[in-house]
Amino acid sequence: MNTSQGVQGAFETELGWRASAPRARQAAMSIYSWREPGWSFLWSVGAAIIFVIAAALSPALLSLSPTVDMIAPVAEARAAAAGQADLTAQSSPFYLMLLMAADFFADTPGRVHLIAKAMGAFLVLYPFAYLASTRFPTAFGVAATAALAGFAAAPFSGPAELGLALLLVCGLSFVSVSADDSASRSRFEGTLGGCLLFVLWLLNPAFALIGFILLSVCPFLTGRYSLWRYVFAFGAFVLLAVVTEFLTPGMNAARAAAAPETLTLHNIITGGERSAFGLGAAAFGAGVIILMSAVFGGKPHWKNWAAATGLLIAGLLAARLAGANALPVFALAAGLACFSVSSPFYDGLFRDHDRASVASALSAGALTLFWTGVIAIHAAGQFSLQYQATKTAPENIRSELALVQPGGPTIAKWVEEGRFSTPQAREFFALTPVDQSAMLLEAAARARTLTAKGLDIAFLTSADTACVLAEARQCQVDGPAAAQKANVVFVPRLEMDAKTAEAKGRAEALLYTQFKMVERTALWEIWVRRDSGAPAGLFSMSESLYR
């Protein structure tokens, strides 16, 4: 009996699950170690600013979207800035404001988008770095800040990704406890969260409504001064809404009307392809970490795993609605469960540590850092691909549009070479982005010649692309609106996109009553206003093209 007890005691002290694991504990503590908030903030900003600089200084934007879709937001921003378009009627007024600001620093559409991305990424990284410096260990705070900035600034990101990143920052402020639980910090963080909530209101009202749901639980999850945080967040939102309504009457009513159209069950079910359900491994990892936090923490740590669960659900809903990549949602929810101030894993490392608790903390921390790093690596990969594609992109597209589009001219080139003798043959092939670029640049070169002769030019596309590509004038709301004021209208013969086909249909009566067609090329029809005094010799009529 004594022998068996001695063997059992030796097993428990030397080989059992309660034995110490000093090396594993040292490795885990390196992940969970904290530094001074000021230094953590600076390191986080330094790591994330790399992505902002990469976006701001890139010569061209890598894009798989149709060229008209890339030019349209720039034209809309210029039209809104000139008072030709109603800002309240736009689907995302804040992103349009970013494009307006970026338009001061660049002329080409791709560069305008890149600088707008850089501005949006900076808007994400600064508040997140500030919040993370007193909520997370240094390693995760730096990695998460860089990941979110890269997620917002990456070439393939857009308003959906920016909105999701801002929602996660708001959520972190509204559902998590700060190590510096002071009244002054609570008031400042509340004000910061309210300002970001209003940005979401102008970016995507459905995201703002989700943010308000997170704000409603703020008094129960964010420490002693949680009520101050709630009051200042709500007050900052209301104040900005009042100021905006004074400057732009009807803005808030338009945003409120747009919210139900987005936040519907149909949109949740038929969300984008890149939404949450395509990331099974990350979803499983985040779920396991939150479950471990709940099991090991129990009731004393309920705020930790409850906040992580709430942020996960809110983020997944937003990602599904916008069709954005949900990987940052899983990474940040796992980080909140694993690394937050109220995480139960600290007890196992710094107080009652043994092999089981050390292994749990190390596994959870390593898995969370892995998925956080994947976001940053994925963003870096997009920038690397953008750089490689820039070296092989057509020179005129890269210099005049600042766009990099995989592939080369195909359909547009074949049409010019006469390979398609009938319009019906062309309908079997879709224009690639490079085809659209080549087609638009050909018209732009011709239009600039006509502009030099004193003629006003319009392209009959969905957006007023001519004001961006061909001449410096105030942009109109769309292509048909620009055609009403132009002397010469370029009408595409190939089907560029569905919106352009709709614009051509709306302007058909205008063309046949007020214009006459004077030239037809393989790609464009050129129409001149009947009462316009166009100089002789500018257009060459070819009867063979009408047969």
Rounded Cα distance between 307 and 218, Å, is: 10
Q: Residues 463-482: what's their mean pLDDT?
A: 87
Report pLDDT for 393: 81
Return the bridge partners of 458, or none.
489
Report pLDDT for 83: 84
Tallying the residues shown for the chain, one arrives at: 547
The tokens for 360 are 């749990």
For the chain, give every domain's residue range: 32-386, 433-546
Identify which of 125-139, 255-269, 378-392, 463-477 has the greatest average pLDDT: 125-139
User: Can you tell me whether residue 66 is helix, strand or coil?
Assistant: coil
Q: Does pLDDT of 420 surpass 60?
A: no
List the Cα angle 96/98/103 in 5-degree steps: 95
Report pLDDT for 383: 95
Report pLDDT for 429: 55
Q: Which residues of 282-320 are buried (b: 16+ CB within 10 A; e: fewer)?
A: bbebbbebbebbbebbeeebebbbbbbbbbbebbbbbbb
Q: Which residue has the higher pLDDT, 278 or 75?
A: 75
Rounded Cα distance between 315 and 164, Å, is: 7
Whole-number average pLDDT of the chain: 85
The tokens for 229 are 């945080």
Report pLDDT for 59: 92
pLDDT band at 471 (very low <50, low <70, confident <90, very high): confident
Q: Which residue has the higher pLDDT, 127 or 435?
A: 127
Report pLDDT for 547: 32
Q: Contact at 8 Å (CB) between 140 and 372?
A: yes
Q: Contact at 8 Å (CB) between 51 and 379?
A: yes
490 phi and psi angles, rounded to 5 deg: -95, 120
Report pLDDT for 276: 44
Q: Does pLDDT of 277 surpass 50?
A: no
CB-facing half-sphere around the CA of 341: CA atoms within 13 A: 17
The mean-pLDDT minimum among 47-61, 234-248, 312-326 falls in 312-326
Q: Residues 391-403: what's their mean pLDDT?
A: 86
Report pLDDT for 543: 39
The mean-pLDDT minimum among 11-20, 160-169, 174-183, 502-511 falls in 11-20
Report pLDDT for 275: 46
